[in-house]
Amino acid sequence: MEFSHKKIEKKWQKFWEENHTFKTTDIHDKKAYILDMFPYPSGAGLHVGHPKGYTATDVFARMRRMQQYDVLHPIGWDAFGLPAEQYALKTGNDPREFTAKNIVTFRNQLKTLGFSYDYNKEVNTSDPNYYKITQWIFQQLYKKGLAEIREANVNWCEGLGTVLANEEVISENGKMVSEVGGFEVIKKPMKQWVLKITKYADRLLEGLETLDWPHSVKELQKNWIGKSTGLTIDFKVEDSNENISVFTTRADTIFGVSYIVLAPENDLVLKIANKNNLVEVQNYVTLAKTKTDVERQDDSKEKTGVFTGTYAINPFTNESVPVWVADYVLNDYATGAVMAVPAHDERDWKFATKYDLPIKFVIETKDESKAFIGEGKHINSDFLDGLDRIEALELMTKKAQEMNVGQVKVNYKLRDWLFSRQRFYGEPFPVLFLEDGEIALIDEKDLPLLLPQTDYIKPSGTGESPLANLTDWVNIEYNGQKAKRETNTMPQWAGSCWYYLAYILTTSPNNLIDINSKEAMQLFKKWLPVDLYIGGQEHAVLHLMYARFWHQVLFDLNVVPTAEPFQKLINQGMILADNGEKMSKSKGNVINPDEIIESHGADTLRLYEVFMGPLEASLPWSYKGLDGARKWLDRVYRMIENIELTENNNKNLDFVFNDVVKKVTNMIEDCKFNTAVSQLMVFVNAVYKEEGPIYRPYIENFLKMLSVYAPHLAEELWEKIGNQASVCLEEWPNYDETKLVLDTVTIAVQINGKLRATFEASKGMSKEEMLIKAKEISNVQEFLAGKEIIKEIAVPDKIVNFAVK
């Protein structure tokens, strides 16, 4: 018999909704905050990748609820975003309507999957009640000196009429283009808000140590922060008053410097370039603007550069070395200038061999046909000769400081966070630019500063956002002065920086209590940090870094009580198309979860997606696997349909039941959601093998465990065996350790191919022990007596073999 998933699923979804089954409770002393990375409600709706992570958190949340924890398991919408803006620009419609419609679709889709979200806690980053707090947090950042306006080189995209963040720019044939739409992107200086995340670089590094996060994500964050300790060393420019300050982590190689390189954007370039070289230098500088940083740093690409015609003096050798401009040096890292040591640096080697610049080895190596980057003794290095790297660096650091030509410097790869977007559909900045040049914050009581209603969302043409068109909104009076509003809006990252706090503050959808209140602090103390956070690897750096930064600032402001927001993090793998490719609209290989829910049911989809492999693995979709999941649920349904229950335990299932409960509990605890399912299967197989009636509590407890994976079916079967709903609020089963005596196996003992004895052994007994045990058996001893053993073989858990003569 198959069950009708359509009937069952609708029935229980209605039941849960009407009975507020998954309402966040505040009645226990233990809590679990289980969080999904919330979705951007795109027009395309949910794809099959979403339920993979969402089911994982749901399984965990459901177990915790049954283990008598207060559980916070919410969902919401990362609802500002570029697609809605582009839709508005194209159609003239309000992005808000478009977004609202998409949210309805998303919510309905999630509900058909039976997730145990508390929908009462729903948040929407584009709701004024929500962005009121986003704006408030921005004001705190400003007051703390962590937000300021700077002229910054930005990725300007004429096609989209906006500045893009680095991560929104990709490289196509060596040229920068926008990830969305593929429009050309160039570097252009513009006045922008930046958030000084670099002030928190060390805190962001140190905090990582305390987190239960994948090693790979921690490494990505560490590399992104890129803390590097070195020296800045001054090279005097010949016939000039200018100094070139280079940053180096290898000051010990200074005797091998053969030229200096400036980044094309370095202000010194045009100041020091020789008149005769100026045109060539200027052309090179213009060309560099079209390249991405990644492209410029790509070691597989040929290095390019031009000579400035100028020389600088090595403070340790007094030699003059040529000054070049090359785009492999980045201007916004350290000083934007490098002392090049081609003998010991791959990039410099390539550059020097291409442009025929001298190469001088200063560390001993046998092979001088290529750059040597290993360790060795210094040579050709005056007072450093004979020293190794560490000794030489120490000495150089001392000398450089004594001679007043160098200083210790710590650099970070981390850049301040460019926080302005030339877009309509984002949070307006709660600031005013006054006529006298001052910046004023909008009064806290006047927040939120609403995004104005308009049917005129058009590019401004000036590079400003479409908000610049709304002159009545932009130009206002403030305390008797003329003032202008900021026409930039905040990036989409802003809303997702604190949404996990917003859930805690939400009392009914989009109604939040004041983040800076006593009540809020109490709730934060109850719920923070997030105990389990699951989402895609694509957010390993930016979202997780930005959110940690805001959290740390809020911690410093005494708004939140914990130093870090997300204690445990797991990245779920992707669901790929059946041929292993990434699913994408353009390839036409996207699988729509709605269709699967229709054909196989939500329980099947949930079960399949978590059973297909470890949560972290990216695995191809398989209809065979999906059918398999459904077949097993049918098998469970039939089992209950045909079952006879008894209150008397004949003990046959004692071991398997307790073993399965223990393993399922531990496996879910460890987020090994797939192997826990295998254990449930083991139990069902064992029940099928039993003749006679089955001990009722075992079946009930099985259904409880099933309910975290296949909640609709579990509710239905729970009711079928005469219980009251909801199984989801029952207590999680316990196991009896005393019933878990070690599993034993029967071992056969053969002598010259003939079975002579058997014995019981605990599973996994070692070969040596098996041989000893076998020889202790009297029948075996008799057959061995007076014979020579030529060979003895033990196959664990199976057999012992003696060959005798």
Binding site, annotated residues: 585
Indicate whether 304 belongs to the interface with ligand ANZ (CB under 6 A): no
Among 22, 54, 106, 247, binds ligand ANZ (CB under 6 A): 247
Of 89, 181, 39, the C-alpha closest to 422 is 89
Of 38, 47, 117, 118, the C-alpha closest to 78 is 38
CA distance 297 to 315: 28
The number of residues that bind ligand ANZ (CB under 6 A) is 19
Q: How far is the CB of 246 from ligand ANZ (least distance, A)?
A: 7
Region near ligand ANZ per CB under 6 A, out of 102-110, 245-253, 310-318, 763-771: 245-253
Cα 105 off chain centre by: 26
Angle, helix 673-689 to helix 623-641, in steps of 10 degrees: 40
Indicate whether 281 belongs to the interface with ligand ANZ (CB under 6 A): no
Indicate whether 345 belongs to the interface with ligand ANZ (CB under 6 A): yes
Q: How far is the CB of 101 from ligand ANZ (least distance, A)?
A: 47
Pairing status of strand 431-434 against strand 439-441: antiparallel
Region near ligand ANZ per CB under 6 A, out of 47-55, 73-81, 331-339, 725-733: 331-339
- Nearer residue to ligand ANZ within complex by CB, 320 or 618: 320
Region near ligand ANZ per CB under 6 A, out of 334-342, 383-391, 424-432, 766-774: 334-342
Among 77, 193, 333, 412, binds ligand ANZ (CB under 6 A): 333
Return the number of other C-beta atoms located less than 10 Å from residue 90's C-beta.
9
Among 149, 330, 557, 645, binds ligand ANZ (CB under 6 A): 330
Q: List residues bridging with 191 in a β-sheet.
A: 151
How far from each other are the two terminal CA atoms of the chain, in whole angstroms?
A: 61
Site for ligand ANZ in 400-459 (CB under 6 A): 411
Site for ligand ANZ in 250-279 (CB under 6 A): 250, 253, 263
503, containing H or E segment: helix 499-505
Token digits for 514? Answer: 């004041």
Distances (CA, A) of 257 to 260, 269, 378, 380: 8, 19, 14, 12
Angle, helix 673-689 to helix 49-66, in steps of 10 degrees: 70
In contact, 118 and 21? CB cutoff 8 Å? no
Q: Which residues are annotated as a binding site for ATP?
A: 585
Indicate whether 249 belongs to the interface with ligand ANZ (CB under 6 A): yes
- Nearer residue to ligand ANZ within complex by CB, 182 or 374: 374
Return the number of other C-beta atoms located less than 10 Å from residue 399's C-beta.
17
Pairing status of strand 569-572 against strand 744-751: unpaired
Among 329, 671, 706, 747, binds ligand ANZ (CB under 6 A): 329
Indicate whether 381 belongs to the interface with ligand ANZ (CB under 6 A): no
- Nearer residue to ligand ANZ within complex by CB, 73 or 250: 250
Q: How far is the CB of 541 from ligand ANZ (least distance, A)?
A: 17
Indicate whether 232 belongs to the interface with ligand ANZ (CB under 6 A): no
Indicate whether 228 belongs to the interface with ligand ANZ (CB under 6 A): yes
Q: Which residues contact 589 (CB under 8 A, 6 or more apart)?
A: 577, 578, 579, 581, 583
Region near ligand ANZ per CB under 6 A, out of 65-73, 340-348, 548-556, 707-715: 340-348
Looking at 217-343, which runs of residues are DSSP E strands?
228-237, 243-248, 259-262, 305-313, 320-326, 337-340
In contact, 452 and 467? CB cutoff 8 Å? yes
- Nearer residue to ligand ANZ within complex by CB, 359 or 547: 359
Indicate whether 153 belongs to the interface with ligand ANZ (CB under 6 A): no
Q: How far is the CB of 175 from ligand ANZ (least distance, A)?
A: 21
CA distance 575 to 50: 9
Indicate whether 336 belongs to the interface with ligand ANZ (CB under 6 A): yes
Token digits for 517? Answer: 């209140």
Q: How far is the CB of 209 from ligand ANZ (least distance, A)?
A: 21
Q: Is 269 exposed, middle or buried (0-12, 13-18, 19+ CB in 10 A)?
A: buried
- Nearer residue to ligand ANZ within complex by CB, 385 or 578: 385
Q: How far is the CB of 334 from ligand ANZ (least distance, A)?
A: 4
Among 61, 113, 313, 338, binds ligand ANZ (CB under 6 A): 338
Among 72, 197, 339, 547, binds ligand ANZ (CB under 6 A): 339
572, containing H or E segment: strand 569-572
Among 135, 248, 292, 487, binds ligand ANZ (CB under 6 A): 248
Q: Phi first, then psi: what are they for 351, rounded to 5°?
A: -65, -45
Residues that bind ligand ANZ (CB under 6 A): 228, 230, 247-250, 253, 263, 329-330, 333-334, 336, 338-339, 341, 344-345, 411
